[in-house]
Chain A
């Protein structure tokens, strides 16, 4: 590992940057950690969902009478049990929520819009009785023509999902189509830029829709008491958001719902939305029993948020010396059954790593008969990066330039104007390129049928609202509670930052994820925001505790509080004038808490800004089997600017995890549909994610350009690492075979066809 830390930036931290044992490790490896599937309650029923077998069908009627009459069935719900929602987009444009859409995604109303769309649900004394009841529900469907491919869905003759969907962002409004939205960002004069270019490369690309493929399926238990108070236990990336969406869909007050975070077995963006919770809540209300619902793997694939498939065209023009002067990108994304693909992110991130004076990105959000897309790790950015980074590589070949040097020459730096308007405020990209240029393997020789590819990526990272409370126990141990579900090791990072701030041992701090009634509002775990934003909440709460500890020490010493300072986990006299007092440890002060004013603790709620973005640059070596087209990844080196690593092992883990998911996206993963729009590979045997034996060691290069807006310099680290792998592998295949693949996944069949000239 080649860590890049400017020598003058090394700070004397005790815990930040170390890799202590994770606090959630023992319960997980011994099997006692409580995931969504693990909770059981007295009198609990089992809920199951009836799903549409059709990709597109009008629902004429639903007859549940025979299911309700089955012994052991306690409740049945359909969309008729959900209150109607008004049709309006609420909140910010990109993340606008339309509850008219959401309630229809949770339970189909007028029509089923994808195979697997929920149409009814049953709660019964066992899963088998519930499944038997589902078979007794009669749904009268009028099957309609369906469309899945984004280019097909945009055609005027395509079957319409919504007969009244008018494209937003186009004036005058066009006639109804499947195009939900058009967006455009532009700086400079791209016509002039291309006219000044000496070399221009333009290529078109397609990417297959892929799933987040978290190992743990969605699951929840919901209880409703006679007084109208409900409780939700579920595996999610944000129990505050689960509570808010469920309350809205059911017309409940937030105060009448309490949501508890279960351990989560992966989310990657796919658990930022709800599917089961409001259904289980309705079944619980109707039956008077707690209701547990779990999805099967097939349901996860067919009914939960994959990310978009896409169709893209990217054109970039350069001067002879390699300076990029113009770039144009067209990005068309599948939204799934309801509007809301990540195409805006794709448009904003596409050219962000580069200083390009003339640039335009145009995006289309297109509905089609697939599950509504949900966020997936740096949503949108990996897709547009595949196209842009492939074109950059082709330009490097035309110019006979080292692809890293071409990127370095054009690297965005602090002050570079982004296509979406503002100037970049942080460095970090060039440093990742320079780290790889120094890497010994960059110039290592390759053998026949092998190639080396490089690519980069950009992600905004996130800030936003977070809360934390820090309490001191009588024995000096510390409880650090936040509202951020721990998906990627955040409890360890929170404990590190709490221990570092208080000056105590890491093992003294017990980090927990608290429920919605026990800690202040905290936004989702997503957008690479938790270490930055929730970390700041933890640091602020810890500082308040230090202030209180100094007050208590002043009381014990009977001096003014100004005479006390906090250092190395102890209260000390600020100067010799204060008096000759032996330093008081946190434990000693805690032991005196009753006499000095009662329990010691503090809460902090923050909404930090000045979010520093993440940059990643990666290279990989592949070998292509000329007989089969199989691509083997021999080496993968991933450099990323992380600001400052808080828990070093977890940072490496995030980088490795993103790369692995990117390798799967590049080589294997795709939804395979039959002619009726039904998924043919809804399981991990046929939907092939990489396993350990498919992969080399993913070598990480941690680059640290500290973020001045975070007390310890942290930046988000979880997402940008998934942006480069698809293009890096495509570029490596091109160097190995002379064939450029422009369609994902680059499966053996496609690689072989390209090599045989039959693609």
Chain B
């Protein structure tokens, strides 16, 4: 089983969807696994994160939350607000 990943939500996301809980420890091989694990804890959270956030995995920013994105053992995963450019 992979080592747990540290998952962090911004304050705004945690206030809206997890009753203020910002950090989670999740065992998963990819982002789909992370979303499923979070959704078990807070039903509906995965859908919000998938559609409302950009994700940073070990600092690498991925504009969209893609199921296929790999999560390494001990990864740090931040769900942050979606970005806009000009």
Give A contacts to B, CB under 8 Å.
Answer: 91-96, 169, 171, 183-186, 212, 268-270, 272, 342, 344-345, 348, 375-379, 414-415, 420-426, 459-465, 524, 526-529, 607, 609-611, 613, 709, 716, 719
> Cβ of A94: which chain B residues have Cβ within 8 Å of it?
81-84
Given contacts A186-B11, A611-B63, 19 further A-B contacts (CB under 8 A): A92-B52, A92-B82, A93-B12, A93-B53, A95-B82, A183-B12, A348-B80, A376-B86, A420-B80, A422-B59, A422-B78, A425-B59, A425-B60, A460-B61, A463-B64, A607-B66, A609-B57, A609-B60, A609-B62
Of A268, A414, A464, A709, most B-chain CB atoms within 10 Å = A464
Residue B42 is within 8 A (CB to CB) of chain A in the complex: no
Is B52 touching A91 in the complex (CB atoms < 8 A)? Answer: yes
CA distance A528 to B63 in the complex (A): 12
CA distance A609 to B59 in the complex (A): 11
Interface size of B by Cβ–Cβ distance < 8 Å?
Answer: 30
B86/A272 in contact, CB under 8 A: yes
Nearest-CB distance from A186 to chain B (Å)?
8
Nearest CB in chain A: distance from B74 CB, A = 13
Tell whether A460 pairs with B59 under 8 Å between CB atoms, given A91-B52, A93-B52, A422-B76.
no
CB distance from B68 to the nearest CB of A (A): 9
B86 contacts A268, CB within 8 Å?
yes
Nearest Cβ on chain B to A379's Cβ, whole angstroms: 5
A426: which B residues are within 8 A, CB to CB? 59
Q: Is B10 an interface residue (CB 8 A)?
A: yes
B10-44: which have CB < 8 Å to A? 10-12, 15
Which chain B positions have C-beta within 8 A of A342?
84
Question: For A611, what are the chain B residues with a Cβ–Cβ distance below 8 Å?
Answer: 60-63
Contact A184/B11 with A92-B81, A423-B76 known, Cβ cut-off 8 Å:
yes
Q: Please tell me if the beta carbons of B63 and A609 are within 8 angstroms of each other in the complex.
A: yes
- Contact yes or no, A609 B61, CB < 8 A: yes
Q: Which of B8, B51, B59, B62 has the most CB of A within 10 A?
A: B59
CB-based contact A378/B86 at 8 Å:
yes
Q: Which 7 A/B pairs are nearest by Cβ-Cβ distance?
A: A527-B85, A269-B86, A609-B62, A92-B82, A425-B59, A422-B56, A375-B86
Q: Which of B12, B54, B61 is in CB contact (< 8 Å) with A610?
A: B61
- Could you jot down 7 A-B contacts, CB within 8 Å? A94-B81, A185-B11, A379-B84, A422-B80, A424-B59, A461-B85, A607-B64
Q: Report the bound CA distance from A157 to B31 in whole Å.
A: 48
Task: Report yes or no: A422 in contact with B61, Cβ–Cβ below 8 A.
Answer: yes
Pair B15/A460 contact, Cβ less than 8 Å: no
Which residues on B sit within 8 Å (CB–CB) of A423? 58-59, 76
- In the complex, what's the smallest C-beta–C-beta distance from B73 to chain A, in angstroms? 17
State whether A93 touches B82 (Cβ < 8 A).
yes
Shortest CB–CB separation between residue A403 and chain B, in angstroms?
A: 27
Interface centre among B53, B58, B85, B86 (most CB of A within 10 A): B86
B12 touching A719, Cβ below 8 Å: no
| A464 touching B63, Cβ below 8 Å | yes
Q: Which residues of A lie under 8 Å from residue B56 when comparing CB positions?
A: 421-422, 425
Partner of A421, one of B8, B66, B83: B8
Cα separation A399 to B81 with both chains bound (whole Å):
36
